Structure 1
Amino acid sequence: MPYKRLIPHCRDTQLLLSQAQDSNLSPLTRARVRVHLWTCTACTRFSQQLAFMRQAMRQLGKD
């Protein structure tokens, strides 16, 4: 398997990050996403934004 196929593209990573909000990713998929996040600031920001929105929604639910 070529090296590039081990690390997902941004579009795939963002989709996986969104899916991870609702269900658990497999250990291999989580590792692939983590490696991508180490190298991509845009997807890291996207991940942080998802976490922020999730926390905000939790807080809204408490009010």
Structure 2
Amino acid sequence: MPYKRLIPHCRDTQQLLSQAQDSNLPPLTRARVRVHLWTCTACTRFSQQLAFMRQAMQQLGKD
């Protein structure tokens, strides 16, 4: 069985954050992403930008 990192790399985290916009991630995966976000400013910023874009798209849909 291949070794999985406890904390995913930035590229993996950003893909998972994007996937989380469309569907729920499994609990262990969510926890791994959360741990990564605690330690990575770039991915935290990416997550905030995704949330901002999602909110903006929802507002556009209301107009």
User: One fold, TM greater than 0.5?
Assistant: yes
Distance 1:8 1:36 in 2: 7
The answer for unaligned runs of 5 or more in structure 2 is none
CA deviation profile, 1:12-59 (whole Å, cap 9, x unmatched): 000000000000000000000000000000000000000000000000
Paired residue secondary structure (2:23): coil
Change (3 A) 1:3 1:37: farther
TM superposition score normalised by structure 1: 0.94
Counting matched residue pairs gives: 63
Match of 1:57 in 2: 57
TM superposition score normalised by structure 2: 0.94
Distance 1:41 1:3 in 2: 25
> Residue 5 in 1 paired to residue 15 in 2?
no
Identity rate, percent: 95
